């Protein structure tokens, strides 16, 4: 019984470290926020924690027998029928509770929409400049003579950097989309960029997930800070032109 209790305690401690300790450390490093470990990562981490703990606790035949002994007694001993029934009922209720928590309806706005349409700031610092998002317009859109060139260059930038998550069809189903929550934005959907001004996309692309407003924390976004990886603001404007041109959507305007 001692070995089994030790195993359960170790797994529980690791669970608390991942579930509460990591966000607490992140909050201490970034005051005013409380990051959340994504559920899919929690499952991955706990799989390795449980597997590693069981391997350690059963590293030899003696330890394996000691760990399995109370389990065999509960499920195999005729005089443990009452305890066995209680254990089975508790496990069934626990699994039912976990399942219900994962499927129960919620009256909160879907986190996907919150991540796509957060409230933008009035201004932002990017590429060493200050940009007024209330009046900012795409400076390349009115250059009709070079518009097709901008679309092509924007597509090259997109496929060199963005399609791994957002997909080659811009539908949010790139190579890595299954490992990201919430899913990458589906630009083909009329509920995404068709509802937004180009200045909004300029801000979201340039500042990425870390640039989301703290007032809405905890935001969940895997978007990198693209201003750190692109050569200049024109790269972002070209990508934006490509996105709207490819999807056939028109950006919302201030008018």
Report the pLDDT value the prediction gives residue 95, as an integer from 0 to 100: 93
Residues in the chain, pLDDT under 70:
32-33, 106-116, 181, 215-220, 255
| H-helix segments, the chain | 2-16, 22-29, 39-57, 61-76, 81-103, 111-116, 147-161, 163-166, 198-207, 233-247
Report the pLDDT value the prediction gives residue 218, as an integer from 0 to 100: 60
CA distance 182 to 38: 9
Report the pLDDT value the prediction gives residue 206, as an integer from 0 to 100: 94
Q: Are 199 and 128 in contact (CB under 8 A)?
A: no
Pick the closest to residue 210 from 16, 7, 35 (CA basis): 35
Pairing relationship of beta strands 129-132 and 123-126 according to DSSP bridges: antiparallel
φ, ψ dihedrals at 124, nearest 5°: -150, 150
Report the pLDDT value the prediction gives residue 169, as an integer from 0 to 100: 93
φ, ψ dihedrals at 80, nearest 5°: -110, 25
CA distance 211 to 138: 20
CA distance 200 to 23: 29
Q: Are 90 and 173 in contact (CB under 8 A)?
A: no
Report the pLDDT value the prediction gives residue 109, as an integer from 0 to 100: 53
pLDDT tens figures, 41-90: 888 999 999 999 999 888 888 888 888 888 888 888 888 888 889 989 99
φ, ψ dihedrals at 101, nearest 5°: -60, -30
Q: Tell me, yes or no, if the pTM score tops 0.75.
A: no
Report the pLDDT value the prediction gives residue 1, as an integer from 0 to 100: 76
Q: What domains, with CATH codes, occur in the chain?
A: 2-103 (no CATH), 111-247 (1.10.760.10)
């Amino acid at each position: 019984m001692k070995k089994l209790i030790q195993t359960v305690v170790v797994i529980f401690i690791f669970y608390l470290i991942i579930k509460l300790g990591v966000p607490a450390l992140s909050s201490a490093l970034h005051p005013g926020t409380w990051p959340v470990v994504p559920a899919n990562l929690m499952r991955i981490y706990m799989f390795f924690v449980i597997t590693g703990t069981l391997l350690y606790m059963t590293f030899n035949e003696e330890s394996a027998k000691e760990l399995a002994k109370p389990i065999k007694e509960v499920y195999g001993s005729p005089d443990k029928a009452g305890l066995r029934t209680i254990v089975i009922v508790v496990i069934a209720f626990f699994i039912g509770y976990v399942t219900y928590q994962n499927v129960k309806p919620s009256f909160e706005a879907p986190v996907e929409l919150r991540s796509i349409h957060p409230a933008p700031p009035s201004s932002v610092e990017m590429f060493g400049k200050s940009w007024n998002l209330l009046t900012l317009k795409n400076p390349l859109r009115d250059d009709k003579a070079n518009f097709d060139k901008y679309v092509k260059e924007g597509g090259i930038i997109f496929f060199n950097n963005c399609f791994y998550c957002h997909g080659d069809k811009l539908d949010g189903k790139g190579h890595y989309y299954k490992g990201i929550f919430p899913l990458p934005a589906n630009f083909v959907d009329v509920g995404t960029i068709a509802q937004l001004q180009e200045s909004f996309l300029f801000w979201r692309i340039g500042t990425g997930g870390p640039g989301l407003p703290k007032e809405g924390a905890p935001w969940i976004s895997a978007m990198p800070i693209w201003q750190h990886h692109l050569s200049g603001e024109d790269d972002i404007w070209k990508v934006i032109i490509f996105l709207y041109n490819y999807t056939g959507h028109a950006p919302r305007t201030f008018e």
